Amino acid sequence: MAPCVLVVDDDHPIQCIVADILGEVGCEVLLASNGTEALGHMRRKAPDVVVTDLNMPGLDGVSLVKVCRNEPKLRHIPIVVMTAEASYNEQSLTALGVQNIVAKPFDVHFLVSIITSIIAA
């Protein structure tokens, strides 16, 4: 069965680029444009990895991570944050349980290598 990756970003072109590359390496990809939509996906089918932006309308990436870490069925899911925010606090994100942080703009292949290493672990 193909590993499932949930990509959460309100920027549709970024969603598509990440989804295309992950699809090429054999992942099943789910897309969400905000944290609320992502939680709906996650509660129906827990993905193997979540890749989320920080800044999104509605439930943002930090809030999504907090909700996941407080729900027993979701707390084990690895989360990778991708962000263009220069002011993010790496220590606080790591303390929340984020596995990795990737600054935008990013090399898509670098992001895929992080995701595949998490899946392989």
31 CB burial (10 A radius; 0-12, 13-18, 19+): middle
CATH number at residue 80: 3.40.50.2300
Question: What is the rounded CA–CA span in Å between residue 5 and residue 89?
Answer: 24
Please give the pLDDT value at position 86. 66
Q: Give me the domain span that covers residue 88.
A: 4-120
Q: How many domains does the chain have?
A: 1
Q: What does the pLDDT read at residue 87?
A: 67
Q: Which portions of the chain are predicted below pLDDT 70?
A: 86-87
CB 51 within 8 A of CB 111: yes
pLDDT of residue 91: 85
Residue 103 parent element (H or E): strand 100-103
